[in-house]
Amino acid sequence: MNNKFQIYLNKILNLRVIMTVIVILGSITAVLGTYLTNYHLLTDSLQVLRFGDYRTSEQKQWQREIKEENSKIELNNKKSVYLLSFDGILYDLLVKYTLDDYLKNKLETGELYSRQYNIFTYETKLGFRNILGGYKTRTDFNIFNLIANSKNPLKTFAVYSWEPMRTAVLSRNTHIDKEYNLERYPYEGYAHSKLNKKFNDGKELMDFSTGLLNESVETKDYNFYFYLDDVADNAGHLWLKLSSDYIINTYKYYYNIIGTLLKKFENDPNTLVIVTTDHGRNKNGYNHDFWDKNAYKAFVVANHNLNNIINRPFVNYIDIMQAIYTFLQ
């Protein structure tokens, strides 16, 4: 009896070993297959893994110089910049649903500047660190503090409904003159309660945040305006298709922000309007993750040629901070 039991036990152990080997080989095959399918993401010094410094020499040089000269630079209080940021939106859908025929024509003729580019991370947190701070790290070196620490500081404004903006993107020492965090007191939990599959709730959130922005535009109390919306991104995470009424209506709503300001300041030499996003989306539109190349795409649209502002070709969202600060001088 004992011998039979031992034989049976050995068979079970051998089977477990075989199954373990199969699982390991299957996992290796899956990882290797995913890698081979997406090998382009792991090229160029493994940038998407964030190994090493992915900034260009020009980007690093400007950042070094501006850190040293920041307090000596005098800004022009007659100039204004609007940085309109939309979490995880797509250029094609922006053109299709957000821009009207007038702005589409401006885009086609080059009167509106636009550039699509590959980026280094699929994450919102790191995306906005690059946009607002010019790199992946979370430091005091960001566009708000550059403006605040200049020889003659200008006033800054921000409205957003994504809590990690304060906790994971901007440093605690970031100075913003007027800040609306729609997840903190007195709006605690407000934005979160509106991010669901009901478009009317999403619209209510956009109405509120847009109203705060428009009010500041009319009063002209600030020189740098930062606006962040994450309604479309959140809808994707709720498994709403890009072709869903919710997504389409959200992009159409964005005209009230993007279209209005691009038209209002289209010929204003003292006002720069930049529209951007922090990352793309997976091909299915739902999420944005490591293995889908579509998540590593972003863009800018602006009412002025950003190449002319920074006096070199605009490369990617790392240059946004330089464009803003240079324009304000």
**Residue 25 pLDDT:** 77
User: pTM here?
Assistant: 0.86
The secondary structure of the chain in percent helix, strand, coil, rounded to multiples of 5, reads: 50, 10, 35
**Residue 9 pLDDT:** 64
**Residue 225 pLDDT:** 98
**Residue 1 pLDDT:** 54
For the stretch 248-298, pLDDT in tens is: 999 999 999 999 999 999 999 999 999 999 999 999 999 888 878 889 999
**Residue 8 pLDDT:** 67
Residue 183 structure tokens: 């997840």
Q: Give domain 54-327's CATH architecture.
A: 3-Layer(aba) Sandwich (3.40)
C-beta contacts of 96-102 below 8 A and 24+ residues apart? 96/251, 97/248, 97/251, 97/252, 97/254, 98/251, 98/252, 98/254, 98/255, 98/258, 98/259, 99/255, 99/258, 99/259, 100/255, 100/259, 102/263
Neighbouring C-beta atoms of residue 174, cutoff 10 Å: 23
Would you say 118 and 294 are in contact if contact means Cβ atoms under 8 Å apart? no
Q: Which residue has the tokens 């290797």?
A: 32
Name the burial class of residue 218, with classes exposed (0-12), middle (13-18) and buried (19+) by CB atoms within 10 angstroms of its CB: exposed
**Residue 51 pLDDT:** 55
**Alpha-carbon gap, residue 278 to 296, rounded angstroms:** 9
**Alpha-carbon gap, residue 38 to 205, rounded angstroms:** 37
CB-based contacts of 252, cutoff 8 Å, min separation 6: 97, 98
Low-confidence ranges of the chain (pLDDT < 70): 1-2, 4-6, 8-9, 11, 13, 30-51
**Residue 231 pLDDT:** 97
DSSP assigned state of 168: I
Ramachandran category for residue 311: left, alpha or beta (phi over 0 → left; psi -120 to 50 → alpha):
left
Q: Is residue 225 helix, strand or coil?
A: strand
For the stretch 220-251, pLDDT in tens is: 899 999 999 999 999 999 999 999 999 999 99
Q: Which residue has the tokens 């440093």?
A: 171
**Alpha-carbon gap, residue 69 to 75, rounded angstroms:** 12
Three-state SS sequence of 207-220 = HHHHHHHHHHHHHC
Locate the domains of the chain by residue range: 2-37, 54-327
Would you say 322 and 328 are in contact if contact means Cβ atoms under 8 Å apart? no
Helix runs in the chain, H state only: 2-37, 57-69, 91-93, 101-109, 124-133, 143-148, 164, 190-194, 199-219, 231-237, 245-253, 258-264, 306-310, 320-327
Would you say 169 and 128 are in contact if contact means Cβ atoms under 8 Å apart? yes
CB-based contacts of 240, cutoff 8 Å, min separation 6: 197, 246, 247, 286
